[in-house]
A and B are shown apart, each in its own frame.
Chain A
Amino acid sequence: MSEYYAIIRNLMARSIEWLGESSAVVLETLSGASIFLRATQFGDTTVLIAVTVAWLIFINGIVLNALYTVQFLLGYKALRRRGRVKDSLSAWWRFHRQTLPICLIVPAYNEEETVADNVRSLLALHYPEFEIVIVNDGSQDGTLEVLRKAFDLKPAVRAYDPVLEHAAIRGFYKADNYPKLLVIDKENGGKADALNAGINVARSPLVCAVDADSILESDALLRAVQPFVEDFDHIIAVGGSIRVANGCQVRHGRVTSIGLPTDALSLFQIVEYFRAFLIARLGWSELGAMMLISGAFGIFKRSILMQVGGYSRDMVGEDMEIIVKMHRVMGERDNDYKMMFVPEPVCWTIAPTRLRDLGGQRKRWERGSLESFFKHRDMMGRSEYGVAGSIGYANILITDVIGPPLEVLGYITMPILYGLGMLNLDFFLAYLAITFVYGVFLSVGSLILAEMQLRRYPKAWHLLVLTAAAILENFGYRQINNWWRVVGWVEFVRGKGGWGKIRRSAFERG
């Protein structure tokens, strides 16, 4: 091994000589020569492994930050181009005559506590023509009973084309007083299965997947449908923003007062959602490389969902997989298409407030990403899949596949190497800067974008509290998150499936 190490050192020295003085500093650093204080007291093999690991972690940090910075700049560009958001009334006057009918599909499993309020809020949406299809996915509680009583549902018949596979439908229910509402009662088959049943039953050109425990802003559909209005020939899917409703007041299924939660975990998630939606989704949407539309709120062309075979029923991350699948099918057919993210339409959701629940959610998200990545891994780098196959797939590889294990490895090994005296202070500080400090810029930066263009929170003190949360989330919260993702990785390798149980607080009633 010492010979091997000598060869590498020799090669480095030659490279420095060959590349000249200007590159010498960087290459010398990269060779590990300047990062070790007492390298000689350890064996060559130990040093070589330490060099490799330290630099792998460092480079991973730099690549991740570079990627997030590109997303940030793209998101900034997109928001600047969109200009200020119009008020709801103006949006209605401008678009209500040009919209297309939408079918909202709402899979519901054991949602007896919130489902009636949420259906009422959906019925009150400001949109010219829509139908709400609630899919009771074999709930074991009283979800169906609650719906039957609340809306005076009666058994009905609905003709539909069973193109997509799903568990057996037991029956349909309709309400005389609510002609827009249809309830499907079916055997349990999971969220993807329920969505497929809804897509089969839908008769409108657009379908919107909505989580039963979420609340849509009254103008969310009108705003989200705008890309379809502007370019119906090419747009095949549109995603909207998800916002954390913890701390907001909700009345009759509507957010009546926007506020901030009092617990740190929820505050951190608010900042995290800004980062995910205003930087990641918006940025990649600009390039045509958006690989995920949140399962809580997305609008799709029904015909395209049919063509790709609907949602895959055996997957945990069905929302990511359907998008990757759409990229695949469109690419293979050489179709000219676009998937967009629109930041204005908002869907409110209650974020988990207990660490255990949040951990369960994050592990599931990681498993979902890995499932989609490996299922369609042959798309990576192939020219027929265009930007999705190159940039989109590389992004998943770096941020979801390689990133979390390397980050966690860094949290453990770098302090140890420094403690053992193998790492010099300069290198250790630089590592801390890219791992912790740069994250502050990205988190606070996403808040700035939100404030400059979208004005998401009504009070100035909200912005101050969120700025504090954006700083603090980089010192502990993000690291725990990465740890959960590594556990998700392990669970994925072990073949763990299913959604698990997440306990969420109810919306705060106003």
Chain B
Amino acid sequence: MDPFLKATWLISAGLAAFSIVVALYLALRRVAEDFFNARQETKRQKIKSVLFDVIDQRVTQDDARELLKKYSQINLLDVAGPLRRTLKGNGLNSLDTLLNSLIDIDELLDRMAEGSTSVRAALYADMTWVDDRRVYLAATQALHDPAPQVVLAAAYALAETRTGLSIQTAWMRMTRDDMIGHLGVRQLFRKLAKTQSKAIRGMLYVGDRIALLAADALANSNDFECISDLSALAAEHGSADVRAACVRALGELQHPSGSAAINSALSDPSWTVRTQAAIAASRLGLNDSIDILAALLSDEFWWVRFRAAESLAQLGPEGLAALKNAVRSNANSDVGSLVLRELS
């Protein structure tokens, strides 16, 4: 037979036969795994039952330790991790005390260092029960991990601890190119902003992407001292996205000292900034901006018209009257009339 044609035959038939053998092997493996998983599930149910008894203080810690010591750490952590998320108060404290006395930290550290990406991320995400300094050091090291999900899991866990995660560390580790667009990073900065808003203010002046992250975080901070920074940037920053983020933050903070900046932003050349300013105006209840908002009902951009109409409708009787007037007198106020009907 011609070698080329023979090779074609052999490769096709060989691969087909190989794939069938592998499929049959996987089916057999599945039978074995189903059996194994059923046993694991029984074990997990037993562990869960003991843990519930500990949480409800139906058994002592010593008795629970005795009952659980025959089970593997993997099983124990698999059950305890999800359970912890649903608990707080004394129940959580009892469970954490038990885990600290049962889990071999060296083994845990090994898995944190050598596990697959998803295993590492899961272990760091669930590590807040550990009362051992070595685990926190490992989490700090994990902030250098190449996998973003491991870095985020470790950062979230560190942020939960007493010593916490400093904004400078988060800034250095989270703003690398493959992480800055992660919405989890945005969430982390929002969390950190509640306690470290002063440090976040400094980030407003770095680069556009970091400034966006900082403005978003400050919006959730209740730090009214940042209003002057946000107001200045809302007026002067070269990027429309950053100006819009600052205006949004001023609206979320709902402090009267931000009203001047919001009023000015209603006339910003960028439609995204005007849209955010319209939303912010109603959040602050800025009745002195009613005239500008009414003028925005004729804006060339639909979203500006829509948000201006919504804001007017939310600014009490005065705003509503202005919206009705504008709709009556302005034939172009299509959105205004629709918003009026939608809200009614």
Contact = CB atoms under 8 A, between A and B. Distances in A.
A158 interface: yes
Contacts of B1: 426
A463 B5 CA distance: 33
A505 interface: no
B125 A440 contact: no
A465 B158 CA distance: 49
Contacts of A231: 181-182
Contact of A467 (B24, B309, B335, B339): B24
Contacts of A430: 4-6, 8-9
Interface stretch (B10-18, B47-55, B94-102, B314-322): B10-18
Contacts of A62: 8
B82 interface: yes
Interface in A90-149: 90, 93-94, 97-100
Contacts of A98: 183-184, 186-187
Interface string B9-40: 10111011011101110111011001000000
Interface string B312-344: 000000000000000000000001001101100
B5 A467 contact: no
Given A430-B8, A460-B34, A89 B82 contact: yes
Nearest to A28: B2
B15 A83 contact: no
Contacts of A232: 181-183
A448 B23 contact: yes
B3 interface: yes
A467 B23 contact: yes
Contacts of B8: 62, 430, 433-434
A355 interface: no
Contacts of B302: 161, 163
Interface in B179-234: 181-184, 186-187
A406 B187 CA distance: 54
A161 B182 contact: no
Contacts of B26: 448, 451-452, 463
B187 to A, nearest CB: 5
A6 to B, nearest CB: 24
Given A90-B82, A460-B34, A467-B27, A230 B182 contact: yes
A438 B18 CA distance: 11
Given A84-B118, A159-B338, A233-B181, A471 B20 contact: yes
A157 B303 CA distance: 17
Interface in A457-490: 459-461, 463-464, 467, 470-471
Nearest to A158: B342
B13 A433 contact: yes
Nearest to B25: A448
A460 B19 contact: no
Q: Which of A100, A229, A460, A461 has the most CB of B within 10 A?
A: A460
A126 B26 CA distance: 32
Nearest to A233: B181
Contacts, number: 129
B85 interface: yes
A25 B27 contact: no
A441 B3 contact: no
A233 to B, nearest CB: 4
Q: Which of A84, A161, A228, A461 has the most CB of B within 10 A?
A: A161
A429 interface: yes
Contact of A29 (B4, B125, B148): B4
B15 A438 contact: yes
A186 B172 CA distance: 52
A427 B1 CA distance: 9
A373 B58 CA distance: 69
B306 interface: yes
Nearest to B182: A230
B30 A451 contact: yes
A437 B24 contact: no
Contact of A426 (B6, B23, B148, B338): B6
A434 B5 CA distance: 10
Q: Which of A34, A230, A438, A471 has the most CB of B within 10 A?
A: A230
B183 A463 contact: no
A389 interface: no
Nearest to B185: A98
A433 B9 contact: yes
A494 interface: no
B122 interface: yes
Given A157-B342, A159-B335, A433-B9, A440 B16 contact: yes
A463 B118 CA distance: 27
A501 interface: no
Interface residues of B, number: 48
A448 B103 CA distance: 37
Contact of A463 (B4, B30, B338): B30
A98 B185 CA distance: 9
Contacts of B15: 438, 441
A375 B8 CA distance: 37
Given A94-B125, A159-B339, A467-B27, A229 B118 contact: no
A22 to B, nearest CB: 11
A86 interface: yes
B116 interface: yes
A34 B5 CA distance: 10
Contacts of A161: 302-303, 306
Contacts of B31: 460
A445 interface: yes
Contacts of A429: 5, 9
Nearest to B22: A448
Contact of A445 (B6, B19, B28): B19
Q: Which of B8, B9, B122 has the most CB of A within 10 A?
A: B8
A483 B6 CA distance: 29
A444 B20 contact: yes
A158 B13 CA distance: 61
A437 B6 contact: no
A67 interface: no
B264 interface: no
B118 A100 contact: no
Given A98-B183, A234-B181, A29 B2 contact: yes
Nearest to B334: A159
Nearest to A235: B181
A464 B22 CA distance: 11
A158 B335 CA distance: 10
A234 B6 CA distance: 47
B117 interface: yes
Contacts of B3: 25
A89 B303 CA distance: 37
A231 B176 CA distance: 12
A447 interface: yes
A156 interface: yes
23 contacts: A25-B4, A83-B118, A90-B122, A97-B187, A98-B186, A98-B187, A100-B183, A157-B341, A229-B182, A229-B184, A230-B148, A230-B184, A426-B2, A427-B2, A434-B12, A437-B13, A438-B11, A441-B12, A441-B15, A444-B20, A448-B19, A459-B34, A467-B24
Given A437-B12, A460-B28, 11 more contacts: A156-B342, A159-B338, A426-B5, A427-B2, A429-B9, A433-B12, A444-B20, A448-B22, A448-B23, A451-B26, A463-B26
Interface of B: 1-6, 8-9, 11-13, 15-16, 18-20, 22-24, 26-28, 30-31, 34, 82, 85, 116-118, 122, 125, 148, 181-184, 186-187, 302-303, 306, 309, 335, 338-339, 341-342
The 7 closest A-B pairs by CB, nearest first: A159-B338, A433-B12, A161-B302, A444-B19, A441-B15, A440-B16, A233-B181
